[in-house]
Amino acid sequence: QVQLVESGGGLVQAGGSLRLSCAASGSIFSINGMGWYRQAPGKQRELVAAITRGSRTNYADSVKGRFTISRDNAKNTVYLQMNSLKPEDTAVYYCNAAITTTQAWREYDYWGQGTQVTVSS
């Protein structure tokens, strides 16, 4: 019914930049909050950044000043611009969205499949 498809991950040197995108598609009525999470090997999944429908943002302390989350409501897409990347940013990054579908008519959390970001030192 609903798919979140991420793109933009890859390998980059420390200090470099990457831009992640996540597009939602399917039987979507509305999308509320959207966000990016990450999970490094042996660690729990953690929130990186979140954005409300009205574009209020929230960031993990570890990425403040380096990462920027944004969204395009017309395209059902959320972005994560990552600058000044560090080796400790290496993780699988997952997109999350709170979506109301035209079938269920209630809000559920949906997840993307994840995209690998690797930062070399």
**pLDDT on residue 105:** 82
Find residue 20's DSSP bridge partners.
Answer: 80
Which residues of the chain carry a pLDDT beneath 70?
Answer: none
Contact between residue 28 and residue 2 where contact means Cβ atoms under 8 Å apart: yes
For tokens 């959390």, the residue is: 109
**pLDDT on residue 96:** 98
Which of 1, 8, 74 lies closest to 36 in space, CA to CA?
Answer: 8
**pLDDT on residue 23:** 98
Backbone angles phi, psi at 94, to 5 degrees: -115, 140
**pLDDT on residue 1:** 86
